[in-house]
A and B are shown apart, each in its own frame.
Chain A
Amino acid sequence: MKSFAFHAAIVLALFALQFVLPAYHHANAARIMVYAVLAVGYNVLLGYTGLMSLGHAMFFAAGAYGVGLSIYWLGFAPLAAFGVGAASGLVLSLVAGLFLLRTTGVAFLIVTLMLAQAFFLSTLYFNGVTLGEQGMVLTNVAAVEAFGTSFRLSDPTVKYNLALAIFSAAFLGSLWLVRSPIGRVLIAIRENELRTRMLGYNTFAYRYLAITVSGTIAGLSGALYCLLFSYVGSSFASLQYSTLPLLWTLLGGAGTVIGPLIGTGLMFYLIDISSGFTSSYLLVVGATLLVLTLWFPKGIAGTLRSRWLGWLP
C-alpha cells in the first residue's frame, strides 16, 4: 500500500510539474516521459526477469513505424495509427519471443542484437517505403476529436498530458505486475531459473510473457514518440536505441520500479548539458556505462534501496 501511494504520488507530482516548468523544460519532460516508457518496458525484462537485451530498438522502431507508415502513406487518424503502432510492437515481440525463448544469458543478448540489426538493415533495404535514414516527417497528423473538443498533437499541453497518461499506465502497470504472483515468478526466474522450474513453474511460458510485455511496452513508447514528435527514421532501430534503455535502466537502478524514470531523466539532462559544449556527447554515455559497471552496479534507486529504503519495490 505504501509503495502504491508512493508511485501514485510521483505520477501526481509529474502532473503538477507541468504548471511550473518553463517551456523548454516542459518539452523536455514530455520527451523524457516517452523515453521512460521504453525504459520501463526494458526494466521488466532486465530488472525483473534477469534477461539483458540489446535489441529493444526493434520494438521501439516497430511501434514508431506502425504509426509513421499508417499516417504517412495511408492517412490514418492518430488514434487508429496509435493502435497500429501498439499492435506492431505486440506482434513483433510475440514473433521475436519465439526465437529468443531458446536462449538465456549471453546468447540471449547476442540474438536480440542480431534480430534488431536485421530489423535495422531491413528499414534501410526497403527505403522505398520507410524512406531509410532520412525518415518520414509527418505533416498530415489530424487533430484528435474527443470530449466534444479537438486536441492538436502539436500543442505542448496535449503532448505533455498524453505522454504522462501513457507513462503512468506503463509505470503503475509495471508496479502491479512485479508485485503480482506473476511478477514473483519472474523474480524467481531471475534469481535461479532451474530452481523455479523444479518448483513446477513453466519458466518458458513466464519468460515468453516477460519478453512480450517488455517488447509491447517498448513498442508503445515508439508509437507515442512518433505520434507526438511526428518523425520516424532508421536510426530508431539502430544499436544506439537499444543501448539507451539499458543505460537508463542501469543508471536508475535495474529491478526498481522508479529506476527507469530517474535514469532516463538524469541521462537526458546529462546529454543535454554536455552536448552544449561537445558534439561527441556519446562520450558521456560511454563514461557513464563504465562508471556504473565499476562502482554502481545497482544504480541510483538500487543503492538507495539497499542503504535506506528497503520497502522500495
Chain B
Amino acid sequence: MDIGPTLLLAFLEGVVGASVLALTALGLSLVFGVMRIINIAHGELVMLGAILAWAIVHFLGGGALVGFLLAMILAPLIVGTFAVAADWLVLRRVNYDPERTIVATMGLLFLAQQTVLMTFGPDAKPVEAPFYFRVNFPWFGYNGYKLLVVAAAILLIAATWLILSRTRMGLYMRATQMDAEIAQAFGVPVRRIYAMVFALGAALAALAGVLVVPIQQAHYLMGADPLLLSFIVVIVGGLGNLRGTMLAAAVIGIGEGMISVLFSPTLAKIVATLLVALVLIVRPGGLLREEAA
C-alpha cells in the first residue's frame, strides 16, 4: 500500500480511538470539574461497561443487534447505579477529600477488577458487532461499525453538552462547579448533584466500554489503558475544562492511533505519556490552575 492510503487508514483508526477516548475523558473531567476529585477507578468503569455488554448479549440473547441495543441502555444504568452506591457508601464518608478519595477509589479499582476476574474468569470475551457492512474506499475496505462508534460518541457528547447547558440539572451542575458553598446557599441540592455527576461520569465511561467491546473484546484488565489515556487528555486539556478535554482528546486520540498503526502501540503510549511531562515544562503551574483556585 502507498503512503497515502496507509495514512488515511491510520487517521481513521485514530479518529475511532479519539471518539471513544473523548467519551471516557469527558466523564473523568466532569467528575473532577464538579466534585474536585480524581477517580482512579474510572478505567474500571469502562471495563465494567464492556463486560456487562458481553454478559447482556450472551445471556439475554435476542440477536446481536437487539442485545447490543439493550447493552447500550442497561450497562450505563447498572454502572451508574454502582457509582451512586460508591458515592453514598464511600466518597461521602470521606467528605470528598482529594487524597483519601484517591486511595478509596484505588481500593474500588482492585475490588472491581478482582470481582470481574472471579465472576467471568481471565479470558477475553468477544462480542459480535451489531451489524456488518464494509465502507469501500478505492484502496481498502473499512469496518462500518467503527464509523458508527464515531457517530455514537459524537451524539453522546452532544447530548451531555445539551444536558449541561440547557437543563436545570445542568445549571445546578455548573453552579456547583463554580462554587459548591454558594450554590448550596442558593438552594442547589449539592449532595444529590454530586451523586448525579458521579453517576453521569460513570455512565459515559460504561458507554465507551460498550462501544469498544465489538472492536476490542472484554477483559478484566482492559481498564488500564483508558484510565491512562483519559488522565493524559484531562491533564493536557486542563482538569475540569470540558472544551479543553474534548480538544485534547481529538489531538491525542488521533495522534495515538496514527503512531499505533504506523509504528507501535507501546511507543504511542510512551509518547503520549511523555507529552504530559512536556506540557508541564511549557505551562508550569498553569496546568491545574483551576485546582489551585
B233-277 interface code vs A (CB 8 A; 1 in, 0 out): 001000000000000000000000000000010110110011011
Once bound together, how far apart are the Cα atoms of A1 and B266, in whole Å?
A: 52
Once bound together, how far apart are the Cα atoms of A278 and B288, in whole Å?
A: 42
Interface size class of A (residues with CB under 8 A): 35 or more
Tell me the smallest distance from the CB of B44 to a CB of chain A, in Å: 10
B267 to A103, Cβ gap below 8 A? no
Residue from the list A52, A114, A250, A293 in contact with B277, Cβ < 8 A: A114
Interface 9-residue window, one of B1-9, B53-61, B94-102, B176-184: B94-102
B231 near A: Cβ within 8 Å? yes
A80 near B: Cβ within 8 Å? no
Interface size class of B (residues with CB under 8 A): 35 or more
A106 to B98, Cβ gap below 8 A? yes
Tell me the smallest distance from the CB of B62 to a CB of chain A, in Å: 32
B89-121 interface code vs A (CB 8 A; 1 in, 0 out): 010011000111011101111110111011000
Instruction: Give every chain A residue within 8 A of B90 (Cβ-Cβ).
Output: 290, 293-294
A294 to B38, Cβ gap below 8 A? no
B287 near A: Cβ within 8 Å? yes
Tell me the smallest distance from the CB of B227 to a CB of chain A, in Å: 9
Interface 9-residue window, one of B69-77, B141-149, B197-205, B278-286: B278-286
Residue from the list A114, A125, A283 in contact with B110, Cβ < 8 A: A283
Instruction: Give every chain B residue within 8 A of A293 (Cβ-Cβ).
Output: 90, 94, 100, 103-104, 107
Query: 8 Å CB contacts to B: which residues of A210-233?
Result: none
A287 to B288, Cβ gap below 8 A? no
Residue from the list B94, B98, B235, B266 in contact with A105, Cβ < 8 A: B98
A267-281 interface code vs B (CB 8 A; 1 in, 0 out): 000000000001110
Once bound together, how far apart are the Cα atoms of A102 and B285, in whole Å?
A: 7
B118 to A114, Cβ gap below 8 A? no
Instruction: Give every chain A residue within 8 A of B269 (Cβ-Cβ).
Output: 117, 121
Once bound together, how far apart are the Cα atoms of A110 and B270, in whole Å?
A: 15
Residue from the list A110, A118, A250, A287 in contact with B274, Cβ < 8 A: A118
A107 near B: Cβ within 8 Å? yes
Once bound together, how far apart are the Cα atoms of A246 and B273, in whole Å?
A: 22
Tell me the smallest distance from the CB of A283 to a CB of chain B, in Å: 4
Residue from the list B98, B100, B235, B273 in contact with A297, Cβ < 8 A: B100
Residue from the list A107, A109, A279, A289 in contact with B107, Cβ < 8 A: A289
Tell me the smallest distance from the CB of B279 to a CB of chain A, in Å: 10
B107 to A114, Cβ gap below 8 A? no
Query: 8 Å CB contacts to B: which residues of A91-110?
Result: 99, 102-103, 105-107, 109-110
User: Besides the contacts A106-B102, A114-B276, what 12 more A-B pairs have beta carbons closer than 8 Å?
Assistant: A99-B280, A102-B280, A103-B287, A107-B287, A109-B102, A121-B266, A121-B270, A280-B118, A287-B107, A289-B104, A290-B111, A292-B103
**A–B complex contacts, Cβ < 8 Å, 21 sampled:** A99-B277, A103-B288, A106-B98, A107-B288, A110-B276, A114-B231, A114-B273, A121-B266, A278-B118, A283-B110, A285-B110, A286-B106, A286-B110, A289-B104, A289-B107, A289-B110, A290-B108, A292-B103, A293-B90, A293-B94, A294-B90
